[in-house]
Chain A
């Protein structure tokens, strides 16, 4: 260090003065007392809950949390979309009115008897339920009503299940049934409209007279389906194949495929 002289004072000399700023001896007694008290407090002080939490988390930090989350997400998505039975069950719970209007087996007209009876006006509920009720066995009465507002994918799966369970007799009976209805009234859609009127007359609740958009859409879909059924005279298996081909060619399938996007190491699903 340079020796200070009256003629020369450097920056280092000035900073040396800072070194001389020291507390008095009394200060250190107080310092020691306070430090001892703090040491004791630190020794007996309770550890907070987040200390143990942080330690636990760091202990398991080797787990690939991102991969675990991705796996859990994939499992949830797969569980949701690959179990139609669960979907149908949950949907049937949500659609209690539909389940109520689903006819009991006794309500359904037997396929053979249908031909001899005049098929007056078929109520909307009956048409809706008959569409699948004739396909499904009696032991599964809730399924037909559910198909009304299911998503496209689930409807497709339900239809596939129906097709596998379909017997030629029931398909034929259903066709005959609708053929009778068509003879009486060549426009099933107008039947549906008149069905709405009957329903309005029968119900006293004014709110029940208001048809919801979903019911109207359902009516249109059923009308289109009945048209196909009435015109069709093919083998049921061929009909099923045609329906499958039609659905696979739909824009909906392209839309479903468009929801999946794979780029790099990630797969994104649009909802």
Chain B
């Protein structure tokens, strides 16, 4: 157990993440002891983040909801096998990413996208304002067009590159955490991230202003 804690600490450099990991471990131990209701706290805590990762990988709301639910079901069913070698959230993310990758590979020919509405608040509004000076319906149209263009650019990436860019840029995981989730080396993560950014920049060039 001490070894697993040491490994976990090595991956969780951020103190906030460390506290979060400890709290998760306590909840997981409750669930493993038979307190099934404690698992609902984990669902409430991670459902939005998990949804975001899956959504940006699939680009489809309905599939995302199903995959996120399946991820929680799988985690619940195999919670007794969770031994604490990794943090709970990386373990949960790994289940989600593996399920999503499997789903994408199965349905690679089916390309139907249904996008969520962009919530304009804070910095997002400033970015949109920087991109366009339009207002009203024209602004909404521009935002929708930009959203579709972003989604298209992401979908042009390979599954691995899309996963890396989603976990790093959108969900703000560290390189080490992504490496653990994707079961690869940190160098591979950096390489994939660099390549994915190059491709995205080429695709989104009209929207980038220097």
Binding site for B on A (CB under 8 A): 1, 3-24, 27-28, 31-32, 34-35, 38-39, 42
25 examples of A-B residue contacts, CB within 8 angstroms: A3-B126, A4-B126, A4-B130, A7-B130, A7-B209, A8-B210, A9-B207, A9-B208, A11-B208, A13-B127, A15-B150, A15-B169, A16-B127, A17-B127, A17-B146, A19-B52, A20-B121, A20-B124, A21-B56, A21-B115, A21-B117, A31-B65, A38-B73, A39-B76, A42-B73
Nearest 4 pairs of A and B residues by beta carbon: A21-B116, A15-B169, A20-B124, A9-B209
- The tally of CB-CB contacts under 8 A between chains A and B is 101
Would you give the 0/1 interface string for B183-208, flagging 1 where the beta carbon is closer than 8 Å to chain A? 00000000000000100110010011
B66 shortest CB reach to chain A, Å: 9
Would you give the 0/1 interface string for B117-160, flagging 1 where the beta carbon is closer than 8 Å to chain A? 11111011011111100000000000000110010001000000
Would you give the 0/1 interface string for B43-65, flagging 1 where the beta carbon is closer than 8 Å to chain A? 10001100110011000010001
Q: Decide if B170 touches A15 in the complex (CB within 8 Å).
A: yes
Q: Is the interface of A mostly helix, strand, loop or mixed?
A: helix
* CA–CA, A7 and B126, complex, Å: 12
* CA–CA, A34 and B67, complex, Å: 12
Q: Decide if A18 touches B126 in the complex (CB within 8 Å).
A: no
Q: Decide if A20 touches B119 in the complex (CB within 8 Å).
A: yes
B68 interfacial contact with A, CB 8 Å: yes
B90 interfacial contact with A, CB 8 Å: no
* CA–CA, A32 and B130, complex, Å: 37
* CA–CA, A23 and B61, complex, Å: 9
Nearest B residue to A12, CB-CB: B169
B32 interfacial contact with A, CB 8 Å: no
Extra pairs beyond A5-B130, A17-B127, A22-B52 (9, CB < 8 Å): A4-B127, A4-B130, A7-B209, A11-B200, A17-B128, A18-B170, A20-B121, A38-B73, A42-B76
Q: Is the interface of B mostly helix, strand, loop or mixed?
A: helix
* CA–CA, A14 and B72, complex, Å: 30
Tell me which residues across on chain A come within 8 A of B65, comparing CB atoms.
27, 31, 34
Q: Knowing A4-B130, A11-B200, A11-B201 are in contact, say whether A20-B150 is a contact too (CB < 8 A).
A: no
Tell me which residues across on chain A come within 8 A of B165, comparing CB atoms.
15
Q: Knowing A18-B170, A19-B170 are in contact, say whether A11-B127 is a contact too (CB < 8 A).
A: no
Q: Decide if B127 touches A14 in the complex (CB within 8 Å).
A: yes
